[in-house]
C-alpha cells in the first residue's frame, strides 16, 4: 500500500470530528484529506464542478459497480462488503493522490502558521481522514488494508447530537437509531482492533491539551514537534440559541498557542444545545439510544460529566510546548 501509518477518525456528523482532526493535523507529520466520502464523491468547498464529476466517475463509480453497494455513502448505515484486492489498491491510490493534491488552505498547505509544506513533505506524511456516520462501517476496509494504521472513535452526548439534527429537520427517533448502531459499531471495533481508541467530545472541549497528549501518545506522534495548534473556525451555539463565529469566516484555519487552547472552546456548548431539545424529542431519542448512552457513561439527565470507561483515551497532563503568546493567527 502507498499509505503508511495512516490515521482514521470515526464519528457522527454534528459530533465534533473537525476539532479532533485539527488536533491531529497540527502535527507536521500528518496531512488531512477531510471526510473520506468527499475524497471519492467530491465536495463544493474544495472541488470545482469538473473535479466533482471526475471524482464521481473515476473514484466512486468503479467501487460502487464492483461492490454492488454505495460503499462511500455516509447515508448508508449498514455493514460494507469486503473490498476486493483491486478495489483496495484503487482506494489506496486515490487516498494517496488526494493527499498530494490537497495543497489547499483548508487542508495541507501549511504545517504551521505561514510555513508551507513541500511536496516531498506531504508525500512522506501520514494520511489523516475521517469516516462520518455510515462510513464508520467502511472503517473495516481500512483495518484490513492498513495493519499499521491508528484509529479513533469520537463520541458526544447523544442529546446534543440529536438537537443538531432535529434543528435541521431530522426525526429524533431516526437519530437515536443511528446513534445506537454507530456507537455499538465503534465500541465493537475498539474491542477487536488494538490500535483503536475512543475519545469523548466533552474531554476535548474541557481539556484540549490533555486530550492532544493522549491522542498523540496513542498515534505515536511526538508532541514536542508541535509549536502551534491548528483549528478551523466554526459556528457554535450560545446560551440564547444563537450561533457565534470565532473568527472572520467559517472554515478559516487559525493557529493558536498552547495557552490559547485552554478556554478556546465553549464548555457549555452541549448544555446550550440540549436545553433546546423538547421532552418529546428527548424521549423519542432515548427509545432507541438509551442503552448506548448508558454504555458510554452519559447520564439520562440532561447534562452530566460521563463516567470513566475502559474504552477511552483519558486526557493526560499536558506537556510544556513552546508557546507563542501572540494572538490567534490566520493560516494565510
What band does 329 get if pLDDT is binned at 50, 70 and 90? very low
Most confident range (mean pLDDT) of 43-47, 62-66, 253-257, 316-320 is 62-66
Residue 21 lies in a domain: yes
Residue 147 lies in a domain: yes
CA end-to-end span of the chain, whole Å?
Answer: 33
Cell numbers standing for residue 249: 469566516
- Residue 235's pLDDT is 56
- Is it the case that residue 159 has pLDDT exceeding 70? yes
- Residue 323's pLDDT is 46
113 φ, ψ (degrees, to nearest 5): -55, 120
- Residue 139's pLDDT is 98
Q: Do 163 and 276 form a contact (C-beta atoms < 8 A)? A: yes
Q: What angle do CA 216, 35, 209 make, to 5 degrees?
A: 25
Place of cell 459556528: 235
- The structure's pTM equals 0.90
Residue 64 lies in a domain: yes
Residue 2 lies in a domain: no
Distances (CA, A) of 178 to 11, 77, 132: 11, 7, 12
More confident residue, 25 or 254: 25
Residue 251 lies in a domain: yes
- Residue 332's pLDDT is 41
> Over the stretch 277-328, which tens digit does the pLDDT of each residue have?
999 999 999 999 999 999 998 876 644 555 556 678 878 765 555 544 333 4
Q: Do 204 and 159 form a contact (C-beta atoms < 8 A)? A: no
User: 154-193 as b/e, with b when 16 or more CB fall inside 10 Å?
Assistant: bbbbbbbbbbbbbeeeeebbbbbbbbbbbbebbbebbeeb
- Residue 53's pLDDT is 95
91-110 mean pLDDT: 86
- Is it the case that residue 44 has pLDDT exceeding 80? no
- Nearest C-alpha neighbor of 200 from the set 297, 266, 74: 297
201-222 mean pLDDT: 95
- Is it the case that residue 114 has pLDDT exceeding 60? yes
> Over the stretch 131-150, which tens digit does the pLDDT of each residue have?
999 999 999 999 999 999 99
Q: Please state, in angstroms and rounded to a whole number, the distance separating the CA atoms of residues 190 and 241.
A: 35
- Is it the case that residue 247 has pLDDT exceeding 80? no
- Is it the case that residue 263 has pLDDT exceeding 90? no
What band does 267 get if pLDDT is binned at 50, 70 and 90? confident
Domain count, the chain: 1
Q: Please state, in angstroms and rounded to a whole number, the distance separating the CA atoms of residues 175 and 161.
A: 8
For the ranges 10-19, 181-190, 272-281, 298-307, the lowest mean pLDDT is seen at 298-307
Place of cell 481508541: 197
Q: What is the CATH number of the domain that holds 145?
A: 3.40.50.300
Cell numbers standing for residue 29: 507529520
Residue 72 lies in a domain: yes
Q: What DSSP element (H or E) covers 126?
A: strand 126-132
Cell numbers standing for residue 56: 464521481
Starting at the earlier edge strand, list the strands of the sheet with 126-132.
Answer: 30-35, 126-132, 7-11, 150-155, 196-200
**Rounded (to 5) percent helix, strand, coil in the chain:** 45, 15, 40
Q: Do 22 and 34 form a contact (C-beta atoms < 8 A)? A: no
Q: Do 123 and 58 form a contact (C-beta atoms < 8 A)? A: no
Distances (CA, A) of 318 to 39, 169, 209, 223, 300: 33, 40, 5, 10, 31
- Is it the case that residue 244 has pLDDT exceeding 60? no
What single DSSP character describes residue 133? T
Residue 252 lies in a domain: yes
- Residue 239's pLDDT is 54
Could you tell me how far CA 191 lies from the centroid of its own chain? 20
211-223 mean pLDDT: 96
Q: Please state, in angstroms and rounded to a whole number, the distance separating the CA atoms of residues 39 and 21.
A: 16
Domain containing residue 109: 7-330
More confident residue, 232 or 42: 42
- Residue 321's pLDDT is 56
Output the average pLDDT for the chain: 88
Residue 1 lies in a domain: no
Amino acid at each position: 500500500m502507498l499509505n503508511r501509518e495512516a490515521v482514521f477518525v470515526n464519528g457522527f456528523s454534528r459530533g465534533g470530528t473537525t476539532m479532533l482532526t485539527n488536533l491531529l493535523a497540527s502535527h507536521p507529520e500528518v496531512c488531512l484529506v477531510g471526510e473520506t466520502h468527499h475524497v471519492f464523491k467530491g465536495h463544493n468547498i474544495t472541488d470545482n464542478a469538473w473535479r466533482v464529476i471526475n471524482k464521481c466517475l473515476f473514484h466512486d463509480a468503479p467501487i460502487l459497480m464492483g461492490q454492488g453497494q454505495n460503499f462511500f455513502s455516509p447515508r448508508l448505515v449498514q455493514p460494507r462488503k469486503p473490498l476486493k484486492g483491486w478495489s483496495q489498491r484503487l482506494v489506496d491510490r486515490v487516498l494517496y493522490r488526494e493527499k498530494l493534491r490537497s495543497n489547499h488552505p483548508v487542508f495541507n498547505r501549511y504545517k504551521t502558521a505561514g510555513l508551507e509544506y513541500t511536496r516531498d513533505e506531504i508525500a512522506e506524511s501520514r494520511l489523516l481522514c475521517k469516516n462520518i456516520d455510515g462510513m464508520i462501517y467502511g472503517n473495516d476496509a481500512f483495518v484490513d488494508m492498513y495493519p499499521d494504521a491508528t484509529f479513533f472513535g469520537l463520541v458526544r452526548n447523544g442529546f446534543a447530537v440529536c438537537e443538531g439534527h432535529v434543528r435541521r429537520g431530522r426525526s429524533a427517533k431516526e437519530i437515536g437509531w443511528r446513534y445506537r448502531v454507530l456507537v455499538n459499531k465503534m465500541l465493537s471495533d475498539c474491542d477487536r482492533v488494538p490500535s483503536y481508541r475512543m475519545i469523548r467530545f466533552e474531554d476535548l472541549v474541557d481539556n484540549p491539551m490533555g486530550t492532544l497528549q493522549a491522542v498523540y501518545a496513542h498515534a505515536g506522534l511526538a508532541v514536542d514537534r508541535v509549536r502551534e495548534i491548528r483549528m478551523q473556525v466554526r459556528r457554535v451555539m450560545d446560551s440564547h440559541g444563537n450561533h457565534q463565529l470565532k473568527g472572520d469566516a467559517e472554515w478559516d484555519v487559525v493557529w493558536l498557542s498552547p495557552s490559547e487552547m485552554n478556554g478556546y472552546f465553549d464548555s457549555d456548548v452541549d448544555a446550550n444545545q440540549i436545553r433546546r431539545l423538547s421532552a418529546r424529542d428527548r424521549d423519542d431519542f432515548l427509545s432507541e439510544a438509551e442503552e448506548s448512552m448508558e454504555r458510554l457513561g452519559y447520564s439520562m439527565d440532561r447534562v452530566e460529566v460521563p463516567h470513566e470507561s475502559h474504552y477511552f483515551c483519558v486526557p493526560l497532563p499536558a506537556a510544556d510546548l513552546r508557546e507563542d503568546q501572540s494572538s490567534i493567527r490566520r493560516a494565510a
